[in-house]
Structure 1
Amino acid sequence: MFYVVILAMVAGFVALRLYMVLGKRTGHEQALPKPAEERAPITTLPRPIESAVEPREIATRNIDSKAEAGLRQIVTAEPSFDVGQFVEGAQSAYRMILEAYWKGDEEALDWLVEADVKTAFAEAIAARHEAGHVLENRLVSIERAVIADAQVEGKQARITVRFDADIAAVTRDAEGNVVSGSMSDAVETHDVWTFARTLKSNDPNWKLIDTDEA
């Protein structure tokens, strides 16, 4: 019984942390994050737009034009949805998910990603362990996070965010020898991640459902 209580306390803590990251007011095969040295070059951090209580024109300085209609649908369904806070939460989730993947922390990934994405991450983590490799990656900075698309299908809302980030990465073998990368040089990266949530549900959390590279 004591063990069950401890598990419940842990689950409650993680759920609260996720609510703060991607809560109500924050907004098949998967392409996994590659080591930074394999990423393609990228190119300003957008400012958040104001929340809306009812449908209205949405400022476009931090979103792609094709995302505007979908964001209006989301705001119409849930007036408390705040685009700016969602982008901030998405950046926090981006960091948490990358760090969990790099560390091989599958338990943390359970709370942040949907099943298909979790399976792909788990397979990559297993392959890495099998090879005896260890990642010592570090997210140096997120230079830009922009909402590239937003859609509502039935009750499910989907928001795609493009992250332009600097990542320092090094891969070591079982003996600690450097296989690739360098922690002294950050590599610019492009990632396009899609988060989803059921509108008007009791669960306020957005979860990662798809990853890709720009």
Structure 2
Amino acid sequence: MPEIILLALVALFVGLRLYSVLGRRTGHEQQPILKPAETTAAPDAAAPVAELPAERPEASGLVYEEPAAPGIRAIISADPNFDVARFLEGAQAAYKMVLEAFWNGDREALRYLVGGSVLGAFEEAIAERETAGHRLENRLVAIERTVIEDARLSGRTAEIDVRFDSDIAAVTRDGEGTLVAGTMTDAVPSRDVWTFRRGIGSADPNWLLVETDQAD
């Protein structure tokens, strides 16, 4: 995708980016169900392996926890186009885009990615930061692990809780560029659980971030 330069095209870029990676399928692959994060059954334990095919990209750690399995099945039943692996790839992309939009104070981008009370909290925090004359120079160093912790379908509304274990370098400067807090040399571990929501059958293909919490 060509680099987006004009600020006026940021919102369009975000929408298209999420449409391409969050929950959309290519149309020819089989529906993947990723192996539960804690499953360690022996190869001859045929029943659970047959029910949940062992298609797990071990290197990337893209998995779901066992409690999420019923919800994932319910979502797939309601929306056969839902793809677990592609959703997780999109969730990682959304995690990075939301953080960068928040750090940069990009309210327009956030409105395409975030909904509910979370959007209001983000905008309030940005306003407070601007009033104080502070700016962030944060950087997402790495996403160490991404895992679906839970999933549910209520009526025609799907919600998926995704845990992100990441390392973030955080720096706050004042209007003169003086360091207020943080350092770029030491990354701080961040453990977050984000809830994404989408209406099944909605014309909008995007999943919105509607809740954030710290992981236990």
Q: TM-score range by the shorter chain?
A: 0.7 to 0.9
SS at structure 2 position matched to 1:71 = helix
The answer to which structure, 1 or 2, has the higher relative contact order (CA under 8 A, 6+ apart) is: 1
Q: Distance in 2 between matches of 1:209 and 1:189?
A: 19
More deviation, 135-144/72-81: 72-81
SS at structure 2 position matched to 1:109 = helix
Residue by residue over 1:99-131, the C-alpha shift from the partner in whole angstroms, topping out at 9 and shown as x without a partner, is 000000000001101142211100000001111
Q: Distance in 2 between matches of 1:76 and 1:50?
A: 11
RMSD of aligned Cα (Å): 2.5
Partner amino acid, structure 2, of 1:57: E
Q: TM-score, normalised by structure 1?
A: 0.79
SS at structure 2 position matched to 1:110 = helix
Corresponding residue number in structure 2 for 1:57: 51
Corresponding residue number in structure 1 for 2:138: 137
1:188 is displaced (CA, Å) by 1.1
Q: Distance in 2 between matches of 1:17 and 1:69?
A: 28
Paired residues for 1:67-106 under 5 Å: 67-106=68-107
Q: Is residue 24–residue 205 contact of structure 1 (8 Å, CA) maintained in 2? A: no
Unaligned runs of 5+ in 1: 1-5, 27-48
SS at structure 1 position matched to 2:97 = helix
Unaligned runs of 5+ in 2: 1-5, 34-49, 57-62
SS at structure 1 position matched to 2:82 = coil
Residue by residue over 1:49-78, the C-alpha shift from the partner in whole angstroms, topping out at 9 and shown as x without a partner, is 9626xxx83358611111110000011111
Mark the CA change 1:8 to 1:187 in structure 2 (over 3 Å): closer, same or farther.
closer
Corresponding residue number in structure 2 for 1:120: 121
Q: Distance in 2 between matches of 1:73 and 1:22?
A: 18
Q: Distance in 1 between matches of 2:9 and 2:191?
A: 37
Asked if 1:197 corresponds to 2:201, the answer is no
Mark the CA change 1:194 to 1:10 in structure 2 (over 3 Å): closer, same or farther.
closer
Partner amino acid, structure 2, of 1:130: T
Asked if 1:152 corresponds to 2:133, the answer is no
SS at structure 1 position matched to 2:131 = helix
SS at structure 1 position matched to 2:204 = coil
Q: Is residue 51–residue 81 contact of structure 1 (8 Å, CA) maintained in 2? A: no
Paired residues for 1:22-41 under 5 Å: 22-25=22-25
Q: TM-score, normalised by structure 2?
A: 0.78
1:85 is displaced (CA, Å) by 0.9
Q: Distance in 2 between matches of 1:168 and 1:96?
A: 16
Corresponding residue number in structure 2 for 1:17: 17
Mark the CA change 1:181 to 1:10 in structure 2 (over 3 Å): closer, same or farther.
closer
SS at structure 2 position matched to 1:185 = strand
Corresponding residue number in structure 2 for 1:167: 168
